[in-house]
Amino acid sequence: MNIIVLGVNHKTADVELRERIAFPGEKLTHALKAMTAIDGIKEGIILSTCNRVEIYGNISDIDTGPGKIKDFVSSYHSIPIETIDNALYVKQGPEAVRHVFRVASSLDSMVLGEPQILGQLKDAFEKAIEMKTTGILLNRLMKKAISVAKRIRTETRIAENAVSISYAAVELAKKIFEDLTTRVVMLLGAGDMAELAARHLVNNGVRTVLVANRTYERACELARDFQGRPVKFDSFLQEMIHTDIIICSTGALNYVLSKDQVNWVMKGRKNKPMFIIDISVPRNIDPEINKLDNVYLYDIDDLNSIVDANLSERRREAEKAEAIIAEEVDVFLKWQASLDAVPTIVDLRQKAEDIRKEELKKALNKLGSLDDNEIKVIEALTNSIVNKLLHPPMVALKGDSDDKDILAATIRKLYGINGKTE
């Protein structure tokens, strides 16, 4: 039993190549069956996302197996092997196990600590189970990978702290306002990043969204998306009196909000806190506003600094995660080694049983007429002798020794056991 990982990701292949060798839903079912029908590929799972395409397999021969999977990818997508060969990575044995655990735990992701990959891996595993292309080895590997990812999220802070501009804005909002459900958000302009930040806020409890845009039709369209209310651009200042969070991205070349204007708004708010996010480049909001009491203004550089600090924190947590993975890889490999000993255990037991039955038959023939009780006593005696003789080698084969392959080969030679039971 040999575990192999073969694939490409965002570090080894550009998006065009990843698209060409992807296995979207309609192709995945057929591809799984076609791949595992190849001689020597005993099990297979295909993980296909926007950032990676990976095949996890159980192959019979470590020398020929990788080439067979490469040929499958090449022929299935009608792409010459030389086009993809340099981008493909191949990992086998312990390295393959470690890679799968790192992928599941998002240590190999474009965004360290992102949660989506674990769900995508689960979906790939479930599809392979549905298509019956997995067996004892990959089933155990995937279940272990999922449990390792959960352990890492429990024992480290790798998934904490925002690492995107839009989500950093949400984290700041949570620090300023304990409860977001009662807060009103206004989108000032309709930039993509501002829209994304607003969506994150809605996902975190915000119920009321106002949209002010120079093009009123665009404001109406975006407000419908948020089930909010459009605001005419020339009246957004009055609406700010009742707004707690402002996200600005207008594309204007000068300030659309001055210190004096916000000072007027704060009087109308009776100085209740206001959080303003200026995602625009160049800035659309006068930085002097930050000098006003209870007004918290952050621009794109402020948010980038928070993201950089949070990324550094995630990298520190990733070191703890790597230690956990090293420990869990060792546990898995010991289990796999015990699995490799099973054929020898089965064959040794069968060899002994065949000898016992043959010798018992000879003895019973020589003893002549015996009643059922006497035969049971003699049979129990032979069973007991065989079990006691087999006990030491069985314990050794089931143990945690590093030389189990040598031990199994020695036992086969000593007992004259040929071949290997699958």
- Domain count of the fold of the chain: 3
pLDDT at 130: 96
The verdict on whether 220 is a catalytic residue reads: no
Give the residue with greater pLDDT, 155 vs 416: 155
One domain, residues 79 and 134: yes
Residues 183-196 have a mean pLDDT of 87
Residues 177-204 have a mean pLDDT of 88
pLDDT at 75: 96
One domain, residues 60 and 129: yes
309-362 confidence digits (pLDDT tens)? 888 998 999 999 999 999 999 999 988 877 767 777 788 888 889 999 999 999
> Residue 17 sits in which domain range?
2-155
Is pLDDT at 135 greater than 60 in this prediction? yes
One domain, residues 149 and 173: no
Q: Percent of the chain beyond pLDDT 90?
A: 66
Asked, for residue 137, whether it belongs to a domain, the answer is yes
Is pLDDT at 55 greater than 90 in this prediction? yes
The DSSP string of 170-205 is: HHHHHHH-S--TT-EEEEES--HHHHHHHHHHHHTT
Of the residues 290, 307, 324, the one at which a domain ends: 307
Q: Which listed residue (15, 37, 50, 62) is catalytic?
A: 50
Find all residues with CB under 8 Å of 272, minimum gap 6, and list them.
244, 294
pLDDT at 33: 96
Give the residue with greater pLDDT, 335 vs 73: 73
One domain, residues 60 and 125: yes
One domain, residues 10 and 150: yes
Paired sense of beta strands 41-48 and 52-59, if any:
antiparallel
pLDDT at 347: 85
One domain, residues 258 and 357: no
One domain, residues 112 and 6: yes
pTM of the model: 0.70
Q: Are 279 and 219 in contact (CB under 8 A)?
A: no
One domain, residues 295 and 185: yes
One domain, residues 78 and 146: yes
Q: How far is CA 257 from CA 120, 168, 187, 244, 283, in A?
A: 43, 22, 13, 15, 10
One domain, residues 6 and 125: yes
Asked, for residue 136, whether it belongs to a domain, the answer is yes
One domain, residues 293 and 386: no
pLDDT at 420: 53
CATH code (residue 96): 3.30.460.30
Asked, for residue 352, whether it belongs to a domain, the answer is yes
Asked, for residue 422, whether it belongs to a domain, the answer is no
Give the residue with greater pLDDT, 40 vs 254: 40
pLDDT at 401: 65
pLDDT at 160: 79
pLDDT at 258: 95
Helix 116-130 to helix 25-36 angle (10° resolution) is 50
Q: Assign 99 to helix, strand or coil.
A: helix
